[in-house]
């Protein structure tokens, strides 16, 4: 169900969904370069990198996550389509997620992209009146 009313408490997190087409090809296939790029974007945005796990598929494609103290950056690539799907989720300061997203857009240099911003928060629980 989709409630009509807005939640009454602030969002504790922001989540960006980034769809990138016609990307820099090496970032879709080169695992060490992708790791360096994702970690650099996180660090330069003021996030704290905790751990990075990336996996290279055969014959192609990469998937993984950079766990940051503020939450995470996730990626899935489809080199055969020139496409990367990225999630950037941070708790606290939304500027960190915005900065990471800006840096990833600059690095991937997509010919086309879409960006969706979601505010993450627990659902509002209505209490019954007796």
Which residues are designated catalytic? 71, 76, 91
> Tokens 């879709």 identify what position?
28
Instruction: Count the Cβ atoms, other than its own, within 10 Å of residue 88.
Output: 32
The two three-digit tokens of residue 95, written as one number? 């500027």
Cβ-proximal residues to 96 (8 Å cutoff; 6+ apart), any chain: 45, 46, 47, 70, 90
Cβ-proximal residues to 87 (8 Å cutoff; 6+ apart), any chain: 15, 16, 17, 18, 72, 73, 74, 75
């Amino acid at each position: 169900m989709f409630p009509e009313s807005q939640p009454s408490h602030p969002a504790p997190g922001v989540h960006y969904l980034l769809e990138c087409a016609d990307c820099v090809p090496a970032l879709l296939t080169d695992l060490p370069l992708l790791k360096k790029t994702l970690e650099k974007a996180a660090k330069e945005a003021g996030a704290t990198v905790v751990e990075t796990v990336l996996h290279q598929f055969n014959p192609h494609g990469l998937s993984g996550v950079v766990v940051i103290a503020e939450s995470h950056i996730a990626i899935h690539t489809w080199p055969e389509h020139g496409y990367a799907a990225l999630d950037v989720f941070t708790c606290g300061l939304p500027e960190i997620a915005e900065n990471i997203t800006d840096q990833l857009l600059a690095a991937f240099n997509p010919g086309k992209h879409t960006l969706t911003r979601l505010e993450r928060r627990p659902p509002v629980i209505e209490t019954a009146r007796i």
